[in-house]
């Protein structure tokens, strides 16, 4: 176990088997994010995965994986950071138990990759944020991004006791299917800047986030620009994902 890498191993055999079942891996090429000690890899093999690329950042764990699956032609161990993995590679399924601190970067990375379905185990709080309704406490930039980019579904609650060592929170298994929409870097940055002031009106959020949005626009100029925006009197967190995207595109056009 390497806490600095955010690793809490999912060890409950029933949960691992269910996750592999949800992935519908039979005859599919599978990319496994953070294969760890190979417990989920074994379940994916049992579920009939056609080929598994097991990505593992920790050199010691990657070595163990290569030794464990040395005789399995269907398993390839890739030692390295998933965030640096080739985005042009094509997979039928992507699976993994995702550390909290890199969930957002992983979701952004997945949006640029080519796959049919992802089944991920994420912290319960993250799952709630991904699927939160506008106006709710959990609703934020991750909600907007996830709901525009993916069709999401919560498949199961995973209690913290299923992990070793046990984290302080429960998790959820979620499925993601891409909608085909890909957010631009400017749109992503604009939405992030606005939702950092999500409880303010849109016009006030634009003024407060003017440096992130425009770089060098002064307060009066930002205020004038904000007045031209649709929904400028609305609270930022009351805007639906499509409305937030509409505003982000207006802001990007004004840069």
Task: Select from 131, 160, 178 the last residue of a domain.
Answer: 178
The average confidence (pLDDT) of the chain is: 94
Q: Is the pLDDT of residue 73 over 90?
A: yes
Q: Is the pLDDT of residue 3 over 50?
A: no
Q: Could you tell me the residue range of the domain that residue 120 belongs to?
A: 3-178
Q: Is the pLDDT of residue 1 over 90?
A: no
Q: How do residues 110-160 score in pLDDT, each as one tens digit?
A: 999 999 999 999 999 999 999 999 999 999 999 999 999 999 999 999 999
**For a pLDDT cut of 70, what percent of the chain falls above it?**
98
User: Computed from CA positions of residues 201, 202, 207, 210, in that sequence, does the dihedral angle turn out positive or negative?
Assistant: positive
pLDDT at 7: 72
Residues 99 and 32 placed together within one structural domain of the fold:
yes
Residue 110, Cβ density class (10 Å: 0-12 exposed, 13-18 middle, ≥19 buried): buried
Residues 37 and 151 placed together within one structural domain of the fold:
yes
Residues 172 and 66 placed together within one structural domain of the fold:
yes
Total domains in the fold of the chain: 2
Residues 165 and 206 placed together within one structural domain of the fold:
no
pLDDT at 6: 55
CATH code of the domain covering residue 160: 3.40.50.150
pLDDT-derived band at 58 (thresholds 50, 70, 90) equals: very high
Q: How do residues 74-114 score in pLDDT, each as one tens digit?
A: 999 999 999 999 999 999 999 999 988 889 899 999 999 99
Residues 31 and 111 placed together within one structural domain of the fold:
yes
Distance between CA 215 and CA 209 in Å, rounded?
9
**For a pLDDT cut of 90, what percent of the chain falls above it?**
92
Neighbours of 244 (CB within 10 A): 28
Residues 231 and 153 placed together within one structural domain of the fold:
no
Q: How do residues 16-47 score in pLDDT, each as one tens digit?
A: 999 999 999 999 999 999 999 999 999 999 99
Distance between CA 131 and CA 154 in Å, rounded?
9
């Amino acid at each position: 176990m390497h806490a600095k890498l955010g690793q809490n191993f999912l060890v409950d055999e029933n949960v691992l088997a269910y996750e592999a079942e949800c992935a519908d891996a039979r005859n599919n090429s599978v990319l496994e994010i953070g294969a760890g000690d190979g417990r989920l890899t074994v379940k994916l093999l049992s579920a009939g995965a056609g080929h598994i690329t097991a990505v593992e950042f920790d050199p010691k764990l990657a070595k163990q994986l290569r030794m464990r699956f040395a005789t399995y032609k269907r398993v390839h161990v890739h030692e390295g950071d998933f965030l640096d993995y080739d985005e042009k590679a094509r997979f039928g399924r992507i699976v993994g138990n995702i550390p909290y601190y890199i969930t957002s970067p992983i979701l952004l990375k997945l949006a640029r990759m080519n796959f049919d379905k992802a089944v991920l185990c994420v912290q319960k709080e993250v799952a709630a944020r991904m699927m939160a309704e506008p106006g709710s406490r959990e609703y934020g930039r991750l909600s907007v991004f996830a709901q525009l980019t993916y069709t999401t579904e919560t498949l199961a609650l995973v209690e913290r006791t299923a992990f070793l060592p046990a984290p302080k929170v429960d998790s959820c298994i979620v499925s993601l299917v891409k909608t085909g929409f890909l957010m631009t870097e400017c749109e992503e940055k604009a939405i992030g800047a606005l939702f950092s002031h999500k409880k303010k009106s849109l016009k006030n959020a634009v003024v407060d986030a003017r440096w992130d949005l425009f770089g060098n626009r002064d307060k009066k100029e930002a205020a004038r620009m904000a007045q031209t925006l649709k929904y400028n009197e609305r609270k930022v967190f009351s805007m639906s994902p499509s409305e937030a995207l509409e505003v982000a595109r207006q802001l990007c056009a004004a840069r």
